[in-house]
Amino acid sequence: MQDSLDPLSDRACRMTHAYKTGIKLRETLRDGVCLRAAVSEVTIHMEHLEDGYPSWHPAPDSFRAMLRLFIYREITGDSYRTLETYQELAEPFGLEHVPDEAVLSRAWRNRFDDGVREYVTVAAHYVVKEIHDYGPSVPAVRPKDEVTDSKPESTDDDEQDESGGAEFSDEQIHRTTRLARNHGFDGFDSGRAQNASYEDTQFFELQTFMGMVGCGTAQGAARFQFRRGGRVWPAWGHAPASGQAIRARSADRGLR
């Protein structure tokens, strides 16, 4: 059984403050106030939130204002690209202008630490669930199933920004690489020597793995070998050359 959260810890205080923010937002929305006004007026409890940017950082945006903007975003589920078009949010939230999507992505990943991101998502997702369960109807609020047993939307956007695609679990990667090995490349023959240190299909298994985890050759090969154990695996990003091709290249270089 997991230990309960220490009620005096910083995280417990952050969680309490997050729910207080969410409860106040819910009550304000029930009074008929629009979402933009509700977020602009709600108390942001800063006592246990740390700005990841130092005071000398050139970012001009207020930390408190950015918290309001991201709480709004987690309630609506808007993408960074969509959010940057809502310049009408800037003044009520305390910003000179709504930053572009690159700045928003960096702020979520670099300016906000785990505690700040948790504060934002707990407060916002509480509002989403309460609105769908008990009303009133607020068209801007995202569907409830988007915040139930799922990662925060901001995190999903950042993963898309960094890797250009979705993340895969270890089980999915393992299954896909094995399917590629057993069915996709089973009949491949590069003409390499019989005493080669690794089989041809191992190269394709490595390439499949690197494509799914979205990392470079050296890092991908190291991660792949760590997961697969002590077998010898190819450690470069090009197809294994046949003995004939190697001899031809050696002749061109005068190394035969």
Helices (H) and strands (E) in the chain, counts: 12, 0
Per residue in 10-31, pLDDT (tens digit) is: 889 999 999 999 999 999 999 9
More confident residue, 185 or 8: 8
**pTM of the predicted protein model:** 0.59
Residue listed under structure tokens 């009550």: 27
- Look at residue 210 and tell me whether its pLDDT is greater than 80: no
- Look at residue 71 and tell me whether its pLDDT is greater than 90: yes
What lies within 8 Å, CB to CB, of 129 at 6+ separation is 144, 147, 148
Amino acid letter for position 190? S
Long-range interactions of 6-14: CB distance < 8 A, separation 24+? 10/48, 10/115, 11/48, 11/115, 11/118, 13/47, 13/48, 14/48, 14/49, 14/115, 14/118, 14/119
Q: Which of 141, 42, 36 is nearest to 92 (CA)?
A: 36
Per residue in 155-185, pLDDT (tens digit) is: 555 555 544 445 556 566 666 666 665 655 5
**Predicted local confidence at residue 148, as pLDDT:** 86
H runs (alpha helix) in 94-169: 101-106, 114-134, 153-163
- Look at residue 82 and tell me whether its pLDDT is greater than 90: yes
d(CA 112, CA 106): 9
Q: Range with the lowest mean pLDDT among 107-111, 152-156, 214-218, 241-245?
A: 241-245
Verify cis geometry, omega within 30 degrees of 0, for the bond prior to 136: yes
Q: What is the mean pLDDT of the chain?
A: 76
Which letter does DSSP use for residue 89 in this model? Answer: G
Beta carbons of 149 and 173 less than 8 angstroms apart: no
At 200 the three-state DSSP class reads: helix
Within 10 A of 84 (CB to CB), how many other CB atoms are there? 18
What lies within 8 Å, CB to CB, of 243 at 6+ separation is 191, 192, 193
